[in-house]
């Protein structure tokens, strides 16, 4: 029996592992002061894409067994700044259940007075409260909380070993990229729902149907479909989107950001499935 729940996860996992191997190579071999900084800059966008896959994994674990899932989550933690089960608590058990109610949403885009946050304000604020909110949700799910805390402690311990070995490279190759990736993840979520007040899934999300964007993010652009059935594997989202499309307002579509907007910024983007294609497991 294959280790993977879905065969289409094999190539993405291979790519995440290769990126992590490159991070370790830079960490252990870089001797100039500038190369780790350059490596951080080069990795901002790719690790932003990997954050989308970490998100998918927290909805539908990529492996059938707990141990390989935990090992993958350690890699994801170093690449995205989101440790094992942090996204599951904050996002799956929090945001997905509450996003239609801005007084409860863990990724809420409204201020307390009901006005809409600006892009920078939302990004900074929700980055700072991401882990406290994950912890708050976890208090209602003690089994998940134990895994979250144990894996978080392991992640911190491993990071400490890296700093003990080479603090400078650990700072630029791991810790700062983790912080930047977490911020970029939160910043990207601003454009998923901001300004949309609705009681139905089909009216509560923006969608991005650009082929390249969905290739690199595992169809995250089919966001209405994702919220309508968040336990669905990423490879099946385009099919569900096609079923829901007639009920999605034409105003609920966006162009992708950099670098995809450069490829064909004026064209209407057509649906396309990406080519790569349990709680504690």
Reported as a single tens digit per residue, the pLDDT across 126-156 is 999 999 999 999 999 999 999 999 999 999 9
Q: What is the mean pLDDT of residues 147-168?
A: 98
Distance CA 78, CA 75 (A): 5
- With beta carbons less than 8 A apart as the criterion, state whether 51 and 184 touch: yes
C-alpha distances in angstroms, 260 versus 74, 148, 173, 214, 217? 29, 34, 26, 10, 12
User: Is 271 a residue whose pLDDT tops 50?
Assistant: no
Asked if 75 contacts 174 with a C-beta cutoff of 8 angstroms, the reply is no
On the question of pLDDT at 279 being above 50, the answer is: no
pLDDT by residue (tens digit) across 195-245? 999 899 999 999 999 999 999 999 999 999 999 999 999 999 999 999 999
Go through the chain and tell me how many residues it has.
281
Task: Round to whole Å and give the CA distance between 217 and 80.
Answer: 13
**pLDDT-based confidence at 274, cuts 50/70/90?**
very low
Tens of pLDDT along 84-110?
999 999 999 999 999 999 999 999 999
pLDDT reported for residue 261: 72
Mean pLDDT score across all residues of the chain = 92
pLDDT tens for 42-63 read 999 999 999 999 999 999 999 9
Q: Is the pLDDT of residue 83 over 60?
A: yes
What percent of the chain clears pLDDT 90, i.e. is strictly above it? 88
pLDDT at res. 262: 75
pLDDT of residue 275 exceeding 70: no
- Long-range contacts of range 118-124, CB-CB < 8 Å, 24 or more positions apart? 119/187, 119/190, 122/186, 122/187, 122/190, 122/194, 123/183, 123/186, 123/187, 123/190, 124/183
Going from N- to C-terminal start, the domains of the chain cover 7-262
In terms of Cβ atoms closer than 10 Å to its own Cβ (0-12, 13-18, 19+), residue 114 is: exposed
Confidence of residue 264 (pLDDT cuts 50, 70, 90): low
Q: Is 135 exposed, middle or buried, given 0-12, 13-18 or 19+ CB atoms closer than 10 A?
A: middle
């Amino acid at each position: 029996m294959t280790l993977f729940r879905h065969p289409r996860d094999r190539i993405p996992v291979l790519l995440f592992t290769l990126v992590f191997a490159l991070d370790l190579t830079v960490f252990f071999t870089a001797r100039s002061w500038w190369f780790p900084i350059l490596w951080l800059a080069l990795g901002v966008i790719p690790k932003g894409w990997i954050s989308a896959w970490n998100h998918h994994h927290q909805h539908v674990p990529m492996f059938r067994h707990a141990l390989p899932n935990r090992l993958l989550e350690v890699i994801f933690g170093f690449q995205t700044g989101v440790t094992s089960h942090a996204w599951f608590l904050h996002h799956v058990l929090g945001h997905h259940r509450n996003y239609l109610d801005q007084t409860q949403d863990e990724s809420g885009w409204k201020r307390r007075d009901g006005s809409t946050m600006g892009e920078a304000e939302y990004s900074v604020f929700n980055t700072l409260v991401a882990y406290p909110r994950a912890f708050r949700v976890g208090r209602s799910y003690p089994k998940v909380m134990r895994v979250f805390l144990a894996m978080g402690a392991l992640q911190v311990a491993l990071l400490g070993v890296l700093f003990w070995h080479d603090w400078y490279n650990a700072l630029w190759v791991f810790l700062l990229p983790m912080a930047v990736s977490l911020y970029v993840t939160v910043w990207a979520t601003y454009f998923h729902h901001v300004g949309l007040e609705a009681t139905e899934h089909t009216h509560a999300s923006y969608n991005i149907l650009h082929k390249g964007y969905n290739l690199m993010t595992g169809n995250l652009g089919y966001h209405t479909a994702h919220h309508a059935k968040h336990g669905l594997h990423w490879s099946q989202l385009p099919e569900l989107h096609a079923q829901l499309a007639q009920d999605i307002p034409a105003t609920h579509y966006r162009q992708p950001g950099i670098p995809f907007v450069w490829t064909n910024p004026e064209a209407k983007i057509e649906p396309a499935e990406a080519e790569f294609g349990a709680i504690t497991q």
